[in-house]
Amino acid sequence: MSIRPVRIYGDPALRTRAAEVGAPDETLRGLVQDLRDTMKAYSGVGLAANQVGVLHRVFVVDVPLDDEERAAFALVDPVIVSRSGSQRAEEGCLSIPGVWEDVTRSRVVRITGLDEFGKPVEIEADGYLARAIQHEVDHLDGVLFVDRLMPLRRQFLKRQLEALARGELPEDYQPPAGGEPC
Ligand code: NI
């Protein structure tokens, strides 16, 4: 297991469409474990492979459904096959530290893909989980949540995003302790 450094806004891997995996192998399962470890270390609810600089279509999520239950899984080669409704809520991204903005997304999504062992899965998600899934699938397409804001809002964030792209992290930014650069 290892914690990988999360790529920050401005990194080309965040702007590249990740490639289909096909058949998950041991290497892919190692990547999934690292994504889980990294997501946990950064206290995230989701992480896509692009965010650690790996251009394979796989993400992990760990989203609270209510006070007791969480949805935690990896999805390989995910495809959103249907969407309905709409929801608007605040989003953030481990790759865009310091930026939190309201984003409109579908309320319900049905998604297909493979688990990390290659077994086909189909999931219907709503609410927070649906939001996280759409955010992570966007990552695999090289799309970031700030792309989905109204133009005026994006304009407002321009300097902040340019600063991130220059490598200037927010003053209170704390990468997790114990991270191993790789
Ligand atoms: Ni993100």
148: CA distance to ligand 1 center in Å? 13
Question: Which fold would CATH assign to domain 12-87+105-142?
Answer: Peptide Deformylase (3.90.45)
pLDDT recorded at residue 7: 97
Mark whether 136 is an active-site residue. Answer: yes
Strand 108-114 and strand 87-91: pairing?
Answer: unpaired
pLDDT recorded at residue 161: 97
146: CA distance to ligand 1 center in Å? 10
CB-proximal residues (5 Å) to ion ligand 1? 93
Measured distance CA(80)–CA(110) in Å, rounded? 6
Q: Of the listed 136, 168, 171, 180, which one is catalytic?
A: 136
Q: Where are the domains of the chain?
A: 12-87+105-142
pTM listed for this prediction: 0.94
| pLDDT by 10-residue block (mean), the chain, 182 residues | 93 98 97 97 95 98 92 97 97 95 97 98 97 98 97 95 95 72 46
